[in-house]
Every structure is written in structure tokens, then in C-alpha cells.
């Protein structure tokens, strides 16, 4: 499979820069894999495609305010630090990306918030990657409060704007509970508290996995031959309760809907030989693209993704590339919003 097969013309004005006023007011394209039929609805109509005892699988990861602006000691040069993951809570060690990184060396001190927080570079990991030790006297909770107060919401750069107060709430799902992501599971951002309540009333079950989405979600794929692309590793947790709910629904012939590519990646990274999901707590670097066929979910809620993105490739492994490209062509003609704050697609 070639990278160029996932290219298409996307007018810039269709990349949504802001979310809808209400989460479930976004447009919803419903695509039937068997018939190829396309319907145009809104996310509020999502409930009508589910019955009692169907299972909707959600990613409960919580996005951290990962973007920090600071200065380098002595030169006072401006730098940006992007938090990737906490390595050691006692020593306050973090893997980060630094920009510009050229002159950021081991032993340098970095200052944030005019000196409210100081970090020392203790290791070089990649050309832009560094390990920082934050120099803070206080409890871990106090440190996290200070760090997150200084950090900003890590909006993807393709939005072309800085983070604003609205993003603190909206670049997050309403059910986010486990800190660790630096990229939001965007399909889940369409799910409102009211929609979750309607699921509950109708008897539709909600199950949770955790996958801490990283910057690899926005990483440009540089190779034409997709089999040569190396995906970043991400941590996944699938609880035993989710294993039970999903497998019982599959065995009963009920609908199991993965909300977003992160849920697909998590479940497909822990699939059994008989196409069931297995509980786990591990790391995965699985890169899902055709001709791989997604085995566990039989429905998927997702956004409209950018050309040549790994996210689009994951969706194509569920829908089939031909059907997905036809749906995207329709979406462009009908003016659907693409990207993080864009509209939604339900594939059944």
C-alpha cells in the first residue's frame, strides 16, 4: 500500500479551527459498509443506530497542558518545551521535545513562568528530545499543579492558531479521567454528557480503554511504501471488565463501536486468534493500514482526517479504502469539517 493512495484535495477552509458550540451538534455522516449508502445526520442522531446491550468503547485518556514557553539560562533565549511523558514522579523526570533544540545541552537550566519553575537538562534522547529534571521542592501534587498552570493546551499545529481558553474544555472528552495524552482522542470529543445519559437510558453499554495518544498522531509519514513506516509506541490499558463486555457483545452478535482510531489501535493490539479482545497493560507500536482488516469492532465513530495521515489509514482498514475515499469526496462536496474540531463519521 502506497502513501499517495491516501492523498486527496482538501480545501483549507474545510479544516475546522474551532468546535461546534455544542458537542453533539456536529454533523454526522453515516456510511454503510455493505451497501455503500451514505446518510447525513447530526451527532445527536447517533443514539438511533444503537440498541440495548450494544457496546460503545471509549478512550478515557486525559490530555495534559503539554506546551510550555520558557527561557534558557544566561542567554535568556526563548524556547518551547513540549511534555511527552513523566518518567519518574519522585525525581520529577520528564521526556520532552525542545524547540529550538540546537543549543540546549546537558546541564543547561530552563526557566518557566519567569522562574516559577526551573528544569535541568539531564539527557539527550533524540535531535529534539531531552530528559528534564524539574527542580521543585514540594509534593508531587503541588509540582503537577504548578507545571499544569504554566502549560498550555497542546493544539495540533495544523489548526494555525494558539490555544485559547475554550480549548481547555473542548480539546478534551467529557469522560477523560486518566492523565497522560498529549493529543486528544478527537472522535470522543463529539460525545456529550447528555448523549452518554441517552445511551444509559436505552441500555447501550459504555466500556473504557486507556491509550495515551502521543505526537505520532500528527507525525508526517515520510515513506511512500507504508510497510516501511515506524509508528511511535503508546501505552494501552484494557481492563478485564472491558474485555468481558466487548467479547460478550461480539458472541451475541451485537454492535461493538470503537469511538476513534485510538480505540481501534488499542483493541487490535490485543486481539486473540479467534478475534476477541484480551485485557492488557502494555505498549504498542502497531501501525494499522490496508490491507490489514480490523477484527474486533463492527462499527466505528471517527472524524474526517487530513490527507496522508496515519489516522485516515486506520479508518481505511475498517471501512475499505475505496468506500472511505468515496465518503471523503462526498464530505468535501457537502462542506463537512475536517481535522481535530471537524465533523464526525459513523461507519456501520
Domain ranges in the chain?
3-63+167-347, 67-151
C-alpha cell at 73: 539560562
Q: What is the pLDDT along the chain (348 residues), one digit of tens a residue?
A: 999 999 999 999 999 999 999 999 999 999 999 999 999 999 999 999 999 999 999 999 999 999 999 999 888 899 999 999 999 989 999 999 999 888 899 999 999 998 899 999 999 887 788 999 999 999 999 999 999 999 999 999 899 999 999 999 999 999 999 999 999 999 999 999 999 999 999 999 999 999 999 877 777 899 999 999 999 889 999 999 999 999 999 999 999 999 999 999 999 999 999 999 999 999 999 999 999 999 999 999 999 999 999 999 999 999 999 999 999 999 999 999 999 999 999 999
Of 169, 117, 120, 107, nearest in space to 144 by CA: 117
C-alpha cell at 211: 491509550
Topology (CATH) of 3-63+167-347: QueA-like (3.40.1780)
Cβ proximity of 39 and 19 under 8 Å: no
The pTM of this model reads 0.93
Of 161, 178, 186, 187, nearest in space to 67 by CA: 161
C-alpha cell at 237: 490499558
Architecture of domain 67-151: Beta Barrel (2.40)
Cβ proximity of 236 and 209 under 8 Å: yes
Amino acid at each position: 500500500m502506497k502513501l499517495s493512495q491516501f492523498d486527496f484535495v482538501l480545501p483549507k477552509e474545510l479544516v475546522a479551527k474551532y468546535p461546534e458550540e455544542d458537542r453533539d451538534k456536529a454533523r454526522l455522516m453515516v456510511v454503510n459498509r455493505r451497501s455503500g449508502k451514505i446518510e447525513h445526520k447530526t451527532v445527536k442522531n447517533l443514539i438511533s443506530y444503537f440498541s440495548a446491550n450494544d457496546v460503545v468503547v471509549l478512550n478515557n485518556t486525559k490530555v495534559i497542558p503539554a506546551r510550555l514557553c520558557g527561557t534558557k539560562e544566561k542567554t535568556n533565549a526563548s524556547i518551547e518545551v513540549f511534555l511527552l511523558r513523566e518518567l519518574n514522579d519522585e525525581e520529577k523526570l520528564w521526556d520532552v521535545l525542545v524547540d529550538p533544540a540546537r543549543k540546549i545541552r546537558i546541564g543547561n537550566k530552563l526557566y518557566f513562568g519567569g522562574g516559577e519553575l526551573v528544569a535541568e537538562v539531564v539527557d539527550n534522547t533524540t535531535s529534539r528530545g531531552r530528559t528534564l529534571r524539574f527542580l521543585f521542592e514540594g509534593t508531587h501534587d503541588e509540582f503537577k499543579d504548578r507545571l499544569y498552570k504554566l502549560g498550555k493546551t497542546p493544539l495540533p499545529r495544523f489548526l494555525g492558531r494558539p490555544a485559547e481558553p475554550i480549548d481547555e474544555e473542548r480539546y478534551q472528552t467529557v469522560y477523560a479521567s486518566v492523565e497522560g495524552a498529549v493529543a486528544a482522542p478527537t472522535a470522543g470529543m463529539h460525545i456529550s454528557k447528555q448523549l452518554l445519559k441517552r445511551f444509559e437510558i436505552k441500555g447501550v453499554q459504555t466500556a473504557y480503554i486507556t491509550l495515551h495518544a502521543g505526537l505520532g498522531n500528527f507525525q508526517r509519514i515520510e515513506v511512500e511504501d507504508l510497510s516501511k513506516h515506524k509508528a511511535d509506541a503508546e501505552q494501552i490499558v484494557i481492563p478485564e471488565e472491558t474485555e468481558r463486555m466487548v467479547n460478550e457483545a461480539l458472541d451475541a452478535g451485537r454492535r461493538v463501536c470503537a469511538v476513534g482510531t485510538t480505540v481501534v489501535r488499542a483493541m487490535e493490539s490485543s486481539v486473540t486468534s479467534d478475534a476477541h479482545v484480551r485485557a492488557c497493560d502494555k505498549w504498542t507500536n502497531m501501525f494499522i493500514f490496508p490491507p490489514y482488516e480490523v477484527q474486533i469492532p463492527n462499527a466505528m465513530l471517527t472524524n474526517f482526517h487530513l490527507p496522508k495521515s496515519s489516522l485516515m489509514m486506520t479508518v481505511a482498514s475498517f471501512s475499505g479504502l475505496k468506500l472511505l475515499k468515496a465518503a471523503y469526496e462526498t464530505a468535501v462536496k457537502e462542506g463537512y469539517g475536517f481535522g481535530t474540531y471537524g465533523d464526525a463519521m459513523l461507519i456501520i
